[in-house]
Structure 1
Amino acid sequence: MISEYLKQNTSEFHDAAEKLFNSEKIFNKTFSLEDYRKIISTNYLMLLNSEEKIFNSFSGEISEELQLDQRRKLHLIEKDVESLSMSSREASHDLQVDNRHEALGMLYVIEGSTLGGNVIAKQLSKTEGFDGVTFNFFGCYQENTGSMWKSFKEILDREVAEENYEHVLTGAKKLYTFLLNVN
């Protein structure tokens, strides 16, 4: 299954992202508002430069099945940027999405960050200094986070034939690389 293949073959990228964002500090309650601004800023730039390109790579039927309208997150993270008094930016990086399979790999990274983001939001809402913070991006699916992830993985596993695994992995690596290097 492609979802397991991606998990295994992107684990170093996932670990690097956790390190970049000081994720261990989230669970020992030493994560600061400045740490949070960094994670929001980076994810904002990733979505700003990729979301529209990714979503435009899909046609009608799979768009509906993936529930793409519900998976849009740029407008949510823009609310977080505003509430944190950060400045919004314009898309400035040429991130290429070469085909639908790469787009699925990129969407895997975004949906995975949503899954982890739900845990982050719950944890930070109990952390001192985060009382007035709204978690629009990280809390986007609320109680539906698990079912949205499960639905995405089922579609991914069903739609991607083994001969396209490398294309999907290329997309996931592209977006992870972008996330780890954008500023």
Structure 2
Amino acid sequence: MLSEYLKRNTAEYHDAAEKLFNSEKIFNRTFTLEDYKKIIVTNYVMLLNSEDKIFNSLSSTYEGKLQLIERKKLFLIEMDLESLSVKETIPSYDIEFDDENEALGALYVIEGSTLGGHVIAKQLSKTGGFENVTFNFFGCYHENTGSMWKTFKEVLDTNVKEENYNEVLSGAKKLYTFLLNLN
């Protein structure tokens, strides 16, 4: 199954991202608003430079199956930046996806961060200093987070042929590398 293949082959990237963002501080409740702003800004730069390219690379086959309109998150993270009063000048970077399979791999990274973001939002909402944080990006699917992730994995697992797994993995690694190099 492609979803398991991606999970297994991107584990080191996922772990590096958790380390980069000091994720352990989230669960021991020492995560600060400045730490949160760093995560939001970094994810914003990732989405700003990749979201349109990913969605433009996907064929209409995936539009309905993945509910692509509901998976767009750039506008949500822009709302978070505004509510956090982050007014940094955000540089533009170049990232390209060679084909639809690479775009699916990149979307795997974004959807995975949404799944993790749901946990982050839930935990931080119980942490002092986060009472007024809206979590538009991390809480975007609300109670549908699990079902959105499950649907995404099912579509990957049933629509991508095994001979294309490495191309999907390439897209996931490409976006993870982009994200990890932003800091």
The TM-score, its normalising length taken from structure 1, stands at 0.97
- TM-aligned CA deviation for residue 62 of structure 1: 1.5
d(CA) in 2 for partners of 1:87 and 1:169?
34
Residue 48 of structure 1 corresponds to 48
- Alpha-carbon distance, 1:61 to partner: 2.6
Q: Which one-letter code corresponds to 2:69 in the other structure?
A: D
Contact 1:37 1:84 in 2 (8 A): yes
Aligned to 2:172: 172
Is 1:33 equivalent to 2:24 in the alignment? no
Partner residue, 1:85? 85
Q: Matches of 2:148 and 2:88 in 1, distance apart?
A: 28
1:153 matched to 2:141 = no
Structure 1 residues 76 and 88: alpha-carbon distance in aligned structure 2, compared to 1, 3 A threshold: farther
Runs of 4+, deviation exceeding 4 Å: 88-91
- 1:56 match: secondary structure: helix
Contact 1:121 1:138 in 2 (8 A): yes
Larger deviation: 34-43 or 58-67?
58-67
Q: Which residue identity does 1:149 align to in structure 2?
A: W
Aligned to 1:142: 142
What CA deviation, in whole Å up to 9, does each residue of 1:64-120 have, x standing for no partner? 211100000000000001111112656611101110000000000000000000000
- Describe the SS at the equivalent of 1:86: coil
Partner of 1:107: 107
* Partner in structure 2 of residue 116 of structure 1: 116
**Cα distance between partner residues in 2 of 1:88 and 1:24:** 26
What is the identity, as a one-letter code, of the residue corresponding to 1:155?
A: V
Say if 2:59 and 2:100, in contact at 8 Å, map to a contact too. no
Distance 1:117 1:78 in 2: 16
Corresponding letter in the other structure for 1:103: A
Uncovered stretches (5+) of structure 1, i.e. residues with no partner: none
Q: How many residues align?
A: 183
**What is the identity percentage for the equivalent residue pairs of Structure 1 and Structure 2?**
72
Aligned partner letter, 1:51? E
Q: Which amino acid letter does the alignment assign opposite residue 2 of structure 1? A: L
The answer for the alignment partner of 2:3 in structure 1 is 3
When normalised by structure 2's length, the TM-score is 0.97
1:114 maps to amino acid: T
Aligned partner of 1:132 in structure 2 is 132
